[in-house]
Amino acid sequence: MSEQHWLTKPQTIRKLWIILIAVLAITVIAGLFIEFHDHFGIESSFAFYAWYGFATCVLMVVGAKLLGIFLKRPDNYYE
């Protein structure tokens, strides 16, 4: 298979990004029409699950990166 697979072409990847952003926008807009149960006084605020999911993931990735400074070793460490 010498020629590039269609899924790896830059045009396709561009389209995929556009689709992803469109879907994200749709879920946020759909959220405006739904009443969220407010157990803790924040879940019904605008796009709560969206920003909460994004922010906590950034925190986890950065947190893992920082811990990695102390925890990572070459993968032949135990040999």
Q: Which residues bind other proteins (CB under 8 A)?
A: 1, 5, 7-8, 20, 23-24, 27-28, 30-31, 34-37, 39-40, 43, 47, 49-54, 56-65, 67-68, 70-75, 77-78
SS3 category, 38: coil
Q: Quote the least distance from Cβ 7 to other proteins, whole Å.
A: 7
- In terms of CB distance, is 10 or 39 closer to other proteins? 39
Cα separation, 12 vs 68, whole angstroms: 34
Q: How many Cβ atoms sit within 10 Å of the Cβ of residue 65?
A: 10
Q: How far is the CB of 50 from other proteins (least distance, A)?
A: 4
Residue 36: φ, ψ to 5°: -90, 135
How far apart are CB 10 and other proteins at their closest, in Å? 14
How far is CA 79 from its chain centroid? 36
